[in-house]
A and B are shown apart, each in its own frame.
Chain A
């Protein structure tokens, strides 16, 4: 039976928990930057993907952004209308989950009062965020996720990573034709709209291709044997696999165990890179191809700028985890900074949006990804970095093909 004292204790404890949660929650948004002694601060939000399946990609984006911000601040900051601003990154982790991303976005806008937000969430989160973004006075730059057309109809959204719709399909088609592939089986993780559209809408319509099977696995799946067994009986020329690269390791291992690979052209869409995994995992990838890449940074033949960036990244954060998404994150900061300088304002969002649309690749020499020359973004806010196909050879990624897909 509950006595009065017990009821009182209960309410005290409940209140204590509520206050503690509130204090923790208030402290949750983490501001990171070079502290400014003089001058103004420009706070930029980041919808970070630091946990969950997206973490291997989101952490690269986050670290690369910190590096870019440090460089800009060390040079005096971004100068907007003759006023220098030091940049401060305010990040909250959404773990790549769509529902969580929306809550985090609301928090960055309403509580942190931020107008510029950089994102590193998964593809499905971008679709979820789009209708919310349209109603907000913010500018969002996505540097990750490949779902098709995520910026279409959203005037305040931009993406400096490649579109997983038509451009990506085009590059897949060009590469598979080059490799004389006719019969294809696909095996992807559920929840990836870019892959779903690729295999269900685009590929079947490409002349000369026959899609023998389309299969899916849920997040967290570990046993791919049954589907790989089925694929083996169909005798495809190529297998297209898509998901988080942590799925690829056991999948490829099992494909080897069952005798499916080597024997087919195995085209990964994992955005995996050598330093994102340990040695035994790298060995598992040997002989396969990777196409979900728009950067030469993690390949065996990086350009000089990328090499310099990699060295700086490694010095600050360590080399482990470095991959192709890092450059997209780095570029997003420079793109935003340049747009603000060009617009001459940190408040006039329409002017800044206009400046983003007018920005050219040549205006930002610091850019690392291989963008199409000329304007960075099209009318819908989508950029077109080259999509690179690499072959895994002796634990390294060797570039074998690349195209803008446009």
Chain B
């Protein structure tokens, strides 16, 4: 049972990282950024090629990937979303889907369809309590990285000037604008953070498992489910939601059925939303102005 729960936590950790990236962008700017699935893919490829081609160690490759993902995220914001700030959510949604498709197909065109894995020989061992728990060191790294990123983000948003600006824009964009908060810069920072986290999540998947050009769609879909489960705009909700979904998945696979794992997981989520439509930690959000 401990193994099953730990499996779920690790599974949930990557979901959590993606969900936070989605939440932060949606929470601040009301953009349903499905394109983060594409950045998730590009993050993995960037880390892979910096590791293989330049021989960088994994940590440096991960940071490099996060940085480039952040830059990519800012570029995408300028091209695909800036002009839609006053537009309807439908327009943003369509633009986000377009970004996802473009990035995944771009990755396919550039790097092909071969499935790859980012090598990390240093962590090629297993921590075990025989009969109770087997935990590959890589999975411990995932939990550590996600924990550190979450703490870092929390600190940034609470303590820094830009963090305060992001919170102000999330509460009321027009009033923030009137009070002199630089919306363009806040948008860039928000997209940068969200994209960096998505890129980092892709890197972690590439190290712990394998990656290919088409893994972004399902990942971002699951992230959105987690975001809705946890409550739109709530980072705490995204964290809890991610781990809950990871554990539900693990329990379903182990004790119920593997064939219909998604059916069971998402049915439970629908049930939660029927009972609490705003999600676990959701707040009633005002319509974008």
Contacts and interface: CB of A to CB of B under 8 A. Distances in A.
A379 interface: no
A227 B251 CA distance: 10
Contact of A220 (B3, B7, B214, B249): B214
Contacts of A373: none
B113 A226 contact: no
B126 A257 contact: yes
Interface in B250-277: 250, 253-254, 258-259, 261-262
Given A215-B258, A217-B258, A220-B218, A250 B210 contact: yes
Interface residues of B, number: 33
Given A246-B115, A246-B212, A249-B210, A216 B259 contact: yes
A47 B199 CA distance: 36
A225 B7 contact: yes
A381 to B, nearest CB: 31
Interface string A220-237: 101101110110000000
A184 B236 CA distance: 43
Contact of A250 (B130, B209, B253): B209
Contacts of A257: 126, 134, 136
A217 B252 CA distance: 12
Given A226-B254, A229-B4, A246-B212, A259 B117 contact: no
Interface in B124-151: 126, 128, 130, 134, 136
A56 B112 CA distance: 11
Interface in A43-90: 51-52, 55-56
Contact of B7 (A56, A216, A226): A226
B134 A226 contact: no
Contacts, number: 71
Interface string A170-213: 00000000000000000100100000000000000000000000
A27 interface: no
Q: Looking at B113, B119, B210, B258, which has the most chain A CB atoms within 10 Å of its CB?
A: B258
Determine which residue in A217, A225, A230 has the highest number of CB atoms from chain B within 10 A of its CB, and name it. Answer: A225
Contacts of B198: none
A222 B4 contact: no
B203 interface: no
Interface string B78-117: 0000000000000000000000000000001000011101
A227 B253 contact: yes
A15 interface: no
B250 A226 contact: yes
A12 interface: no
Nearest to B212: A246
B146 to A, nearest CB: 15
A216 B136 contact: no
Contacts of A51: 108, 113
A229 B136 CA distance: 13
A52 B7 contact: no
Interface string B164-205: 000000000000000000000000000000000000000001
B4 A280 contact: no
Interface string A251-264: 00010011100000
Contacts of A254: 136
B117 A249 contact: yes
Nearest to B115: A246
Contacts of B119: 280
B108 to A, nearest CB: 8
A122 to B, nearest CB: 14
Contact of B11 (A223, A229, A281): A223
B215 interface: yes
Given A55-B113, A246-B210, A222 B253 contact: no
A218 interface: yes
A254 B138 CA distance: 11
Contacts of B136: 254, 257
A229 B3 contact: yes
20 contacts: A51-B113, A52-B113, A220-B214, A220-B218, A222-B210, A223-B10, A225-B10, A225-B250, A226-B250, A227-B253, A229-B3, A229-B4, A229-B254, A230-B254, A246-B210, A249-B115, A250-B117, A257-B134, A259-B126, A259-B128
Interface of A: 51-52, 55-56, 187, 190, 215-218, 220, 222-223, 225-227, 229-230, 246, 249-250, 254, 257-259, 280-281
Interface of B: 3-4, 7-8, 10-11, 108, 113-115, 117, 119, 126, 128, 130, 134, 136, 205, 208-210, 212, 214-215, 218, 249-250, 253-254, 258-259, 261-262
Q: Closest 8 interchain pairs by CB?
A: A222-B209, A246-B115, A226-B253, A215-B258, A216-B259, A257-B136, A225-B7, A258-B134
